[in-house]
Structure 1
Amino acid sequence: MADIADLANEQADYHLQVALGRHKRQGAKPSADFCVDCDDSIPLRRQQSVPGCETCISCQELRERCR
């Protein structure tokens, strides 16, 4: 019988696999040149380090805080 730590580890593993799958799918498309939220340009360094990104850093931080 699984204890609470085992259940927590299973949940964490599940969420990790979902996130990795999402990341792989996003990697198939190019990063946006301009943020879809504020229309500011996305720095080339961010575009290269986060394949498939659609938002600038500020808007991404705001999205993550609002989740």
Structure 2
Amino acid sequence: MATGWAGDGAVNDQIDATVKDAVERARRQLPQGPGLERCEECDAPIPAARRKAIPGVRLCVSCQEVHDEEAGFSAYNRRGSKDSQLR
């Protein structure tokens, strides 16, 4: 249903554009180029597989875990959905 000057699907188009912009912004913030062969924190060797999987990697897995904990990073969605809170 179109309202005013907006065409059908205008809201979905705007949401899609917002998500696309956010993804592009996140990709630009990722490190680029060759990764370090040794961790810049503890000087431990960084495996070739990790350097290949994560371009521009600078930390070993152990130091990255500590860094993520200090930054308050969590890969889990702790908020949950409204439906799950109502059950």
Instruction: Pick the TM interval, shorter chain.
Output: 0.5 to 0.7
Q: For 1:58, which of 58, 62, 75 is the aligned residue?
A: 62
1:22 aligns with 2:29: yes
Report which of the two has the higher share of helix.
1
| Whole-angstrom distance in 2 between the partners of 1:35 and 1:43 | 10
Q: What is the deviation of 1:19?
A: 2.5
Provide the TM-score with structure 2 as the length reference.
Answer: 0.53
* Number of the residue aligned with 1:33: 37
Return 5+ residue gaps in structure 2 as ranges: 1-14, 72-87
| Whole-angstrom distance in 1 between the partners of 2:63 and 2:25 | 22
Provide the TM-score with structure 1 as the length reference.
Answer: 0.67
Q: What is the deviation of 1:20?
A: 1.6
Partner amino acid for 1:22?
Q
Say how many residue pairs are matched.
53
Q: What is the deviation of 1:15?
A: 6.1
Aligned-pair identity (%): 28
* Number of the residue aligned with 2:85: none
**For the aligned residues, what is the CA RMSD?**
1.8
| Whole-angstrom distance in 2 between the partners of 1:15 and 1:59 | 27
Larger radius of gyration: 2
